Structures are given as structure tokens and as C-alpha cells.
Structure 1
């Protein structure tokens, strides 16, 4: 009997221990796979638009240099790949990319502590490798890494100075979309001068991604040598980084094209009536001016399945301030520098036109309605020579034959007939 109780007691003890042991193993396995998945989600959380913001080679050095260090010290500390020289107040790297320096950084004097951080050496044994920086931390799926110092791998630093444009057209486009760029060059992008005013055209690209990235980059460099109208920053080109792309555009306009009167950011799938644009700008304000299709009291989308979802913890208001839709907006050239400065105080959300609206609100500037509310069309306008002659910009259908439409639009003869003329 006692032997039976002892055996029963042993069984009653061993079973719970085994169950606890299995439970602990299960929890450990779950935590392990959870951490692995979270790390993978940093890059693949939403393949449609999530991606890292900086190039791989730059990430280990991105937090190494204090923001108060002088430009020459910062550039030289990276290594021989980006040795810099100063020419006429501009920072130019050895591979012809430009470093965007904010005004206080251009004039800053490096302190002794700053120099110590950058040149961590001793008299006897100079250090040959930089100290290990903190690990890169992504700002999350709804914010982008801005403000941040981005560089240009392809630049046209003197073109605005040479052309002295009245209005600068900047078209954000993916690196592999050569066909879109060629179509614009053959259509509305070729319109200059207009009403005696010079119109300059630039395409803004990020870095290519995917298996063909290296080949695509070689093609981009060849295209740049052929057309001299490409600008390429060292951030990855993806949907989430549109805010970065837009802010880099504003930095470039402020640094390179401040002598122009206006700039227009316009998407590559748009039709632009450049003559109507110039005619409008001839009578537009020349300071603190932004116009386009202005959204009023737009609701913040809280549906996680929406392309433009923004959670409450990122933006607590239920409506956005007025902003010009990103399909195509115009701004006076005093605004880029002001918006860049405002961006230091405004959390950079990934919805680029909303972010500009938030920066504009910080500045106390309200976007201006265009003279005609139908000048900017968010839904594709059905093509006719008469309809297109009355607007400034409209989206187009995906498979639109832009070349033939342009040929028909530019043929001689009146645009409208009968009562519409």
C-alpha cells in the first residue's frame, strides 16, 4: 500500500513538472520567433510602401557626427569616399554629390568637444576606424527620417543659375520609369519659353531597389549624362519615402534655384498645360504663396487598411489643416527654405502633402485657392482639346497615350468650337 502511494506520489509530482517544462519551452519558442518576425517586419511590414530611408553604407555612420560640427570635419570623417571641398560657399563631394547644409550648420564653428568626437585619436596610436555608433532605429511605419542630412548622387547644381527660370518644374519619379520621363520630355516638359518666361524641368529620383538595382543605377547615370535633368538623393525610392523626397526637393530648390520665382511639384502621370500655368503665375503673389487643388478639413483616416492610415498616437486631431494635394502644387520660391526650417518642429509623417500642410500651419500660412477651382483635376479629365485648354493640370488614366494626345493638343486650329469658343 505504501509502495503504491509512493508510486502515485511520484507520478503526481513528475507530470506537473513535465507540463511546466513544456510550457516554458513553448513560451521561449514563441518569444524567439516573435523577435525574429519583428526584425523582419522592420523592412517588410508592408511591402507596398515600407522601406529603409538611408543607404546601407551610410547607416553605420549616420549618428557619428554631431549636428554642430563644421561641414569639412563631417565630410572628412566619413573617409576618402566623401572628401569634400568648399567652393563659393557650397559643399561639393569628390563624387560630385552635394551636401545640404542648413544655414546654422554652414556658419557653425566646430567646438573643441565636437572635434574630439569626430577625431577620436591619441598622439601615440591614431585611431584608424570610427567608433561604433548606436544601432540604427527606424522611426516606425508612419514617420520618416527627417530632418536628416541627405546627399545627392546625381545633381545639376548650376543649371538654374544658367537658365534663370521663371518657374521650375520638379517631377518625382521612380528610377526605373525612364518611359515616363521620356514622355514628359517630348510633351509638356518641352514647353519653354512660355509667354517670354523660361521654364526649367527636373526629375527627382531616389535610389533604386530590387535585384536590378545596380543595372538601373547605371542606366540612370547614362540618362543623366544625356539629358542633364536628373536629381537623385541617397534615400531608397519607395512610397513611404515621398515625404523625404519632397523635403529634399525643397532643400534643393532653396539651395540651387532661389533666383527663380516659382516652382511646381507635379506627378509623372499628369497632363500639364504650361501656358495656363505661366499665365496664372504672372498675376500671382510672389511670397508665401502655395496653390493647387486645396483640401479643406480632410478627415484623418483611422482604418488600418487604408493607404493613408494614420493612428491616433501619431496624429491626435480628427482633421488635417488645409493642404494642397500632392498631384501638383505650385509655390513661390521664398517658401522652400521656410518649410525646411519649420520641419524641425513638426513630426514628419509619411503622407507628404499632409506633412507640407502641417509645416504651413506651423508657419501660419494658408494655401491659396487657384483663380479657377477646376484648374486642377484630381480625377482624370476626359480628353478633348477644348477641355484640356481650360485647365492647368489633370491626372490621366494609366494607359493614356500621352504622345498622341500632345500632338493633337498642339495641332493648329481653335481649341473650342461653337458656344464653347
Structure 2
């Protein structure tokens, strides 16, 4: 046997081993590449195909649903239930307007038995009205409307207009409030828009207003330099095509703000120039900016609480004007605490 044949078998084995190793490394590299590519498609924003897909999707969202971010206002809405003479006859110093769902009689009764019963405060008349639209939850029947009419005749504090009562129509609800105030309360100094799930210290509020300007005045929980939310999943999403700026002008949170009675006409006038967006407090801020009127910071930043603080001292409820609660039912217990603190000299 030739000498070189001694090395033939080991050399062939070595070559095959190297080929197997190369193939194995190639397969491992291919698997890693495929896995990495799939992962990048799911998470890497610089993938060109993903950019095209997102860009097209954003374009579709904006062009097909842009009108959903506006509401139908101005529009000749009519009142189905009204108190046409009461405000003029009472000439209140302060009018409280409470937007509430038509079917939520429980919330209305709770307010009537808590801060809504404060009708004479520091020698000044305070009155309240509940503002309703038309129900979309099966309560729009003739029987329900008759029940609502009886409630109105019993309490004389219900204003119902013929717009659909929904979250998206809160701007309409607010503008209808301004319409009613501008035509029914010429002898009133101030009004407040306040949600039904809010604790309100009317005594503290009137005390504040006795020292406040009588014109160009709106205060509450003031928001400045608020970012416009571009996340589609946000409840307050606003596309660039509707509002191109990155920040909103100053505005007051819609949970409760007070204003002088010269403002309703000015805000209504601005509404004919600014298309109404669905975020009502932002829209009021836009109208204020159009009129060149600035919102006013309260003298104490803690007077209008956006949420209930974890720590509350023994006189908390007599020291604030508003605090948002979990729901209107909680107001019953909170009102009891407030009255106890008042009687204890807080």
C-alpha cells in the first residue's frame, strides 16, 4: 500500500468534520437572523417596511375619522325643559350648573341634599341647575320623559336640551350652558360649571368670589403647557390634522370652574371662529385665547383639587373648594365630614 494512503482516511474524516461544522454554524446563524428579523419587525421603529405600514395607517386614521374629533356646534339646540324666569327673578350672586346624565336621578338627589341646599351663603343667593341632554341608554322613552318632567316640576332645577347626552358631546353641553346663562341670568355675577361627582365647599367658593374680579375672570384647577396627546389609545387623543400645535393653551379643568358672567357671550362669540373639538375644557380654553382673555390662577393652588390627596388633615374639607370623588354616592359621607368639621370650628 502506498505511504500516502495512510493519511487518506484521517484527512477525509477531517474534511467532513469541517464541512459539518460549517453547515452547523450556517444553520445557527440563519436561525439567529430569522429570529432577530422577526423581533425587529415587532419592535424596531426604523424597519422601513414597518415605517411604511405605520405611516399608511396613520394617514387612514386621520382622513377617515377626522370629523369624529369635532362636535356639531354652533347649532340651534332647543330646550325641552327649562326654568325661563327663575334666574332673573332670584338674581343670584352665583349660579351652579351641574351637567349630569338624564337617568342619574340619584346623583341629582344627593346634590340637592348636600351642597345644592346651600342657597344663602355669606348673605348672597346661590342657585343650582342640572343640565341634561337626551339619553341614549334606553331612557329616551315617553314614560321616562314624563318621569323627568315630574322631577322638574317638583324641584324646578332641570334644564334639558335636545342634543344627545354623551361624553363626546360634552362640548355641546358646555356651550349650551353658556347660551342659557347669557340669556337668562343678566343680574348674576358668577356661575360655575361643576360635575356631579365633585365635593363643593360653597362657603369657601363664595368667600373667594367676594374678592374676585367681576369681569374676564375664570378660575379653577388651571392647566398650563399641557401636551397634546398623540397616542391613539388615549381617551383624549388629538390628531395633528385637527390640532397641529404640540401644546394646548392654558385652560381650566372641566371638573369644576367658576367664571364671571361677562364671559359666556365672549366664549359664544369665539365659537363662531373656532371649530368645536370634543375635549370641552380645552375648547373653552381655545375660545378664551381667541378673545385674548387669560385664565386666572386661584390664590391658593390647593383650593381646587383634581383628586383626593392620600393625606388629609382634620380640617381638609373646610379648607378646599372642590375635590373630585369616586362617585356621587361618596358625597353623602364626605358631606357629613364637612359639616362636622364646620361645627368643630375648622
TM-score range, shorter-chain basis?
0.7 to 0.9
The Cα of 1:384 is off from its aligned counterpart by 6.1
Q: Which residue of 1 aligns with 2:344?
A: 414
The Cα of 1:211 is off from its aligned counterpart by 2.8
- Report which of the two structures shows the higher radius of gyration computed on alpha carbons: 2
Task: Quote the Cα distance in structure 1 between the aligned partners of 2:186 and 2:247.
Answer: 33
Q: Which residue of 2 aligns with 1:318?
A: 246
CA contact 1:175–1:217 (8 Å) conserved in 2:
no
- Stretches of structure 2 that go unaligned for 5 or more consecutive residues are 1-60
Of 302, 305, 309, the residue aligned with 1:377 is: 305
Task: Quote the Cα distance in structure 2 between the aligned partners of 1:371 and 1:248.
Answer: 29
Task: Quote the Cα distance in structure 2 between the aligned partners of 1:206 and 1:310.
Answer: 25
Task: Quote the Cα distance in structure 2 between the aligned partners of 1:212 and 1:289.
Answer: 37
Task: Quote the Cα distance in structure 1 between the aligned partners of 2:79 and 2:271.
Answer: 20
Q: Which residue of 1 aligns with 2:318?
A: 389
Q: Which residue of 2 aligns with 1:191?
A: 118
Write the mapping of 1:55-134 to structure 2, written as runs, cut at 5 A.
none
TM-score when normalising by structure 2 = 0.78
TM-score when normalising by structure 1 = 0.64
Render the CA deviation track for 1:357-399: whole Å, top value 9, x for unaligned. 0000000011000011000010124566510111000101237
- Stretches of structure 1 that go unaligned for 5 or more consecutive residues are 1-44, 46-137, 417-421
Render the CA deviation track for 1:254-292: whole Å, top value 9, x for unaligned. 000121000000000000000000000000000010000
CA contact 1:293–1:377 (8 Å) conserved in 2:
yes
Q: Which residue of 2 aligns with 1:368?
A: 296
Task: Quote the Cα distance in structure 2 between the aligned partners of 1:404 and 1:270.
Answer: 13
Q: Which residue of 1 aligns with 2:104?
A: 177
Q: Is structure 2 residue 260 aligned with structure 1 residue 332?
A: yes
Secondary structure of 2:255's match?
Answer: strand
Task: Quote the Cα distance in structure 2 between the aligned partners of 1:368 and 1:380.
Answer: 22
Task: Quote the Cα distance in structure 1 between the aligned partners of 2:119 and 2:148.
Answer: 24
- Greater relative contact order (Cα 8 A, min sep 6): structure 1 or 2? 2
The Cα of 1:406 is off from its aligned counterpart by 1.5
Q: Which residue of 1 aligns with 2:134?
A: 207
Moved more, 212-221 or 354-363: 212-221
Write the mapping of 1:182-331 to structure 2, written as runs, cut at 5 A.
182-214=109-141, 215-331=143-259
Task: Quote the Cα distance in structure 1 between the aligned partners of 2:271 and 2:144.
Answer: 32
The Cα of 1:409 is off from its aligned counterpart by 2.0
Secondary structure of 2:336's match?
Answer: helix
Task: Quote the Cα distance in structure 2 between the aligned partners of 1:366 and 1:231.
Answer: 29
**Structure in which a larger fraction of residues adopt helix:** 2
Root-mean-square deviation (CA, aligned residues, Å) is: 1.7
Secondary structure of 1:148's match?
Answer: coil
Task: Quote the Cα distance in structure 2 between the aligned partners of 1:184 and 1:257.
Answer: 22
Secondary structure of 1:171's match?
Answer: strand
